[in-house]
Structure formats: structure tokens, C-alpha cells
Copies of this chain bind each other. A is one copy, B any other.
Amino acid sequence: METITAAVPETPKKRRKGEETRAQILETALDLFRERGYEETTMRAIAESAGVAVGNAYYYFKSKEHLIQAFYARTHEEHLAASREVLARERGLRERLLGVMRAKLDTIAPYHQFSGVLFKTAADPLSPLNPFSAESQPVRQQSTDLFAEVITGGDTRLTPDLVAALPNLLWVYHMGIVLYWIHDSSPGCAKSYTMMERSVRLVLRLISLFQFPLLRPFLKELLVLVTELRGEVAGIGPEPSAAPLTGGAADLRA
């Protein structure tokens, strides 16, 4: 019977050890990245500071880039938490979107100095960090879900077409703001904040504009486009291109 209890492949003891080392390496790496920047931090330095051998760092992280991925996952979590607070507090669409976007800039602020490298590696289509890659699909999903919550959880009612299209569009929009932020060298990234506020205002205006029933054909077309985009993005795998145009927005949530 005891053998059955051992069905769990790893005992807690065993797992503890590895995870401690893993955490140790990650913390050290992030510290060094913040201190000296990414390029200037060598894997040897990370290993030495963490008190392990170089190879051991590679046992836990497939590459130096994967250390950034871990960092990215962390800020992503922070942003989700901060956003949930905002969304629990605010009802108005404007306040909700503004709050979530502001939370984004606030969350990533401490890492502005090496955001460039992050983005650089993230841009590689083959990198797991790439926001369009399969590996980051969960993160992307959570982000679009967040924007879905922004528009549906408040006191503003939108047409179904908008509700279907906006989460992905807002995700793309927020990526654009981050892109601006990366290139923003103004003190405190002040320009990014004003740019964000201005563009949020514009986005809200556009949303209310497209509530107008006469513009429905536009929305329909936009929806097809966004769906197509999502299909391409979701995965290049063998998943069938079955019914690429059937459901319209029906399969937006896979």
C-alpha cells in the first residue's frame, strides 16, 4: 500500500531542494540584471553569485533568455493583481481602462533600463518569449481575458460585436503603448503616461463611435480580421483550419 502512496513521482522533500536552487538562481539573476543590465550580466557571474556551477543554471533555465521569460511572467502576475484591484474598485469604462493601462506602466517601470533587451528577444518569432508564440499563449489569454473583464465587468453596455472584437484589439493596443514606452527616454517615462492617457481617450471615443448601428458592417469586417489574426497567432500547428469562416465570432473563445 505504501508503494501506492509513492505514486506521486517526486516526494515533497525532493522537490523542495530543486525549487530552492531554481529560485536562488532566478533571484540572483534578476538582481544582477537590475544592477548591471542584461548584456553586462554573464551567466558565469549569475552562477557564481548564486553559489552554483554554470551548468547548473542551465539545468533549471534552458537559456539566458529563459531567465527573462521568468521575469516577464512575474511582472505579468503583478499586473494582473494590480488590475484586479482596479476592476474591483472602478465601474466606469474610462476609469477601468485607464486604471489597467496605468497599472501596466507602473508594473513594468522598474525594468525600463533593460526593457530593450527584453523586447529584442521577445521579437524573435522563435523565442518562447515572443508574445505570439505558443509558449506564451496562456499569458496572452490571461491578458485578453483581462481586457474582456474591463469592458464587460463595468456599467457600460457594448454591442456584442464590440465585446467580441475588443479584447484582442485592446491587447494589441496595449502592446503598442508598451512599444512606445520602450523607446521613451523621458524622465520617469512621463511621455508614455501622457501618450497612454491621450490614446485611451481616443480609444474610448472610437468605441462609442462604433456603438452607432450604422457602422455595424465595419465591425463585422474588423471581427473577421481579428479572428483570422487570432487563428494565425494561436498556433501554426496541425490544428485544422476547419471552419475558418463558419462561426464568425463564435470560436473566439477556444
A 144-185 contacts with B by CB, 8 A:
180, 182-185
A8 smallest CB distance to B (angstroms)? 39
B225 and A202 within 8 A (CB): yes
A195 and B121 within 8 A (CB): no
B121 and A126 within 8 A (CB): no
A116 smallest CB distance to B (angstroms)? 4
Is A33 part of the contact surface with B, judged by Cβ < 8 Å?
no
How long is the Cα–Cα vector from A215 to B225 in the complex, in angstroms? 24
Residues of B with C-beta under 8 A to A183? 125, 132, 232-233
A226 smallest CB distance to B (angstroms)? 10
Known contacts A205-B218, A225-B199; decide if A191 and B119 are in contact (CB<8 Å). Answer: no
Chain A interface main SS type: helix
B125 and A123 within 8 A (CB): no
Known contacts A185-B236, A224-B198, A229-B195; decide if A125 and B121 are in contact (CB<8 Å). Answer: no
Is A36 part of the contact surface with B, judged by Cβ < 8 Å?
no
Is A120 part of the contact surface with B, judged by Cβ < 8 Å?
yes
Is A242 part of the contact surface with B, judged by Cβ < 8 Å?
no
Known: A116-B124, A122-B123. 12 other contacts (CB 8 A): A117-B124, A119-B125, A120-B121, A120-B127, A123-B123, A180-B229, A183-B232, A185-B236, A191-B228, A191-B232, A201-B221, A202-B222
8 A-B residue pairings within 8 Å (CB atoms): A116-B124, A119-B124, A120-B123, A122-B123, A191-B228, A198-B221, A201-B221, A205-B218
A residues in contact (CB < 8 Å) with B: 116-117, 119-127, 132, 180, 182-185, 191, 195, 198-199, 201-202, 205-206, 209, 215, 217-218, 221-222, 224-225, 228-229, 232-233, 236
